[in-house]
Chains A and B, each alone.
Chain A
Amino acid sequence: MNTNSNKYTIIYTTILVVVVAAVLAIVASVLKPRQTANIELEQMKTIMLAANIGEVDGQPDKTADYKALYEKHITRAYVIDQNGKQLEGVDAFHIDLKTQFNAIKNGGDVTLPVYECALDDGSMVTIFPCYGTGLWGAIWGYISVKEDCTTINGAVFAHASETPGLGGEIAQPWFYNQFDNKVLEVNGQFASVKIVKGGAGSDLNGVDAISGATITSTALQKTIAQWMDYYKGSLELAKAIITLSEGLSNSENAEKDE
């Protein structure tokens, strides 16, 4: 047979491509459920680490079952819109943060996820995501805020393609553990986290930047501030309720004393 004729070449390549496509399609559809499960598990792990659950000495616990931890600790997940209003019937866990980031950038309508998480000591923390662009690609993370709505309980960050050893350090425990116990307030006003070049010193809302990774550090600070802008409404509202109820119970106690 003449393997160099046009007819032969066309038939040969067509059959080859169809066979290869069929093999890949079958494998992809067989493996799809496992891949989705892996991605979801990764998200659960990130959310748990942001609440400092499943950590040993500040490092992720390699033996922990993060799915079980997630199901045990997350008591409620909901979404809020750009006015801070809670929306019903939206699956918070499967919201695409990238789409929301684009909406934030363009000032459009947003649906932002919020997770409520019960810690082992009985207190509640609220967990917020953030998503933005670093130096080379996307950066994202989760921040958990304590019951007082001003103190950060924990944070965790991840990135798609920041430089290993430089910008990539934002995903390392030494960096994200710095956020623990930072205060989202300056002089009684809400303030996002500052990432300070040359060391934050005693700044209550500042963390040390990564040397050699100024752009990633600044981008992360901007990302957190951008998302916090949307969440601060609910945080301030919750704080006001706490202050109000404390005031009420104080005055009740005062009345009893009389």
Chain B
Amino acid sequence: MSRIPKEPTKLVTVPSPNKIPERDIDKSPILECQHLGIDFGGLSAVKDFNMAIGRTEIAGLIGPNGAGKTTVFNLLTKVYQPTRGTILLDGVDTHNMNTVQVNKAGIARTFQNIRLFNNLTVEDNVKLGLHNHIGYGMWSGIFRLPSYWREEKVAHERAMELLSIFDMGYLAKYKAGSLPYGAQRKLEIVRALATNPSLLLLDEPAAGMNPSETAELMENIVKIRDTFGIAILLIEHDMSLVMGICEGIAVLNFGQIIAKGTPDEIKNDPVVIEAYLGKKKEA
């Protein structure tokens, strides 16, 4: 296997070394975006977006409000069809796939504004994540054939196992909509994990969490990566989280990547500082 080719990015001023972590260096990337772009009418919301993510990497996507971060997630999961460019998931072009097929191919996500199945129980929410891994059909369900009982039992055990990642097993019987905010965020992550993804997209997982909850979340994200051996791409405004756990970071501004690199490089990159804080007045 060859090394990940360095992406041609126009605006990168700091030549960043490979941002793929060492352990993934000799493997092909799980996700590769090439010249990805989308226009809404005359507005290019995302332009020439290039990115590669290693198989077990925790990567961060940051940028000021309205930079197009969530749009990138929506492109990756085909909520929007990209106007230009290619998305390769584990080397497979997702060009003709829709949201459902992309999920089956291995991308799972959470949402910035939580989207749970509010009227269903916590356990059912996780079982819905397991949906495509439960092996019985409609008729077995209606006539309660042996496969129904067997598969439902397996699904129940698996759901409880997944909930135990966040110690949420005791909440299994409650309605998802009745959970406190932090628990809902965690449940979304569990539901996404249940679909058995190879790439997990987290859209502001720490939003609305207090510092101790955020610290716990950071530990859990790393734990998830280590347990499941998957890649995680996250959008986050909480810099302690991003700088704490991300191995590679891309900074987006006005729909374009303006910098890529390790947390230390990003922290000191003048282009990034300018994007966030504005330009220093000439003395």
A and B interact: no
A residues lining the B interface (CB < 8 Å): none
